[in-house]
Amino acid sequence: MALKIKASSKYARETETKTELNLTPVMNLMVCLIPLLLSVSKLTDLALLEYKPPAEASEEAGGAGDDDEDKPSDEEKEIRLNLLVNLIDNDVIQISMYSKLDPGEHFYEIPAGQGGYNFKALNDSLYSIKQREVGKPTGQDSLFNEDTQEWDVQPTYKVKDGLEVSITALGTTPFQTIIALMDTCRWKHVDKKRELLFPATMLKQFQ
C-alpha cells in the first residue's frame, strides 16, 4: 500500500504559478511593422484614364459642321455616326449626330439639371442613341495593340464609329466636368449590368 504524502502548503503554492508567454517582443515588432506598412500602403486608390486619340480622328479634326468639306470617296462610303457632345453656356448639353446642326432628331439640347449639367439625362439619351442608331454588333474586328503586343477584338457596328464620341466644351470648363462627361459617355447601368456606350472619347475644340 503506497503511502500518499500530502504536499506542504508552501510547495503547492509555488507550483501553482502560471507560466505566461512573454508577448512584449512580439508587440515591439508589431509596433514597428504597422507604421511602416501604413507609410507604404496607398490610402488613395489611383487609376489611369487612358486617352488615346485615334489616328483617324486627328486627320479628320472637326466633327460637327464640316460635312461639306470632307466628302468621303467612293471606297469610303461607310456610314459614320459622328456623335458629338458639346457643353455650352448655362449648363446646356448639345448632342449632334451625322454632323447635323439643325434642330431636330439628330441635333438637340439637354437643359441644365439641378446644380449643373444634367449628365443623367445625357446618359439616358446616349443609351437610346446607341440602341437606335448603332444597334447590336454586326461582327468583330481585330486590332493590334502595341502596348500589350496582342490582338484586341472589338465589335463592329452598322456605323463605322459605333464606339466613338467627340467631346467639345467651353475653354473654361473644369477638367473634373470633362472627366464626369467621359464617364457618362462610357457606360450605362441597366438592370445592374454595365452596358457599353461610347468608350472611345475624342477631345476636340468646337470651331
Partner 1 sequence: MAFAPTKSKKHRKSEKQELSLNSMMDMMTIILLFLIKSMSTSGALIKPSQYLELPKAIREAEPKKALAFLLTENGVLDDMEGEKRIISGTDELSDPSLMVLPGLEQFLMQQKDFKEKANIEFKGEVTIQCDRSAPYEWLLKVINTCGQMEYQTIDFVVIKTS
Binding mask of the shown chain, residues 101 to 130, with x at each position contacting partner 1 by CB under 8 A: ------------------------------
Q: Is residue 116 classed exposed, middle or buried when 0-12, 13-18 and 19+ CB atoms within 10 A define those classes?
A: exposed
Piece of 16-24, 64-72, 97-105, 151-159 that binds partner 1 (CB under 8 A) = 16-24
Tell me how far, at minimum, the Cβ of 18 lies from partner 1, in Å: 11
Q: Can you tell me which residue has the cell 502548503?
A: 9
Q: How far apart are CA 176 and CA 153, in angstroms?
A: 31
**98 contacts partner 1 (rule: CB under 8 A):** no
64 binds partner 1 (CB under 8 A): no
Q: Decide if residue 1 touches partner 1 (CB under 8 A).
A: no
- Choose which of 37, 143, 153, 190 interacts with partner 1 (CB under 8 A): 37
Given 41, 90, 148, 149, the residue binding partner 1 (CB under 8 A): 41
Find the binder of partner 1 among 11, 51, 135, 150 (CB under 8 A). 51
To the nearest 10°, report the CA torsion of 70, 156, 122, 104.
Answer: 50
Helix (H) or strand (E) holding 149: none
Side-chain-facing half-sphere of 22: CA atoms under 13 Å: 3
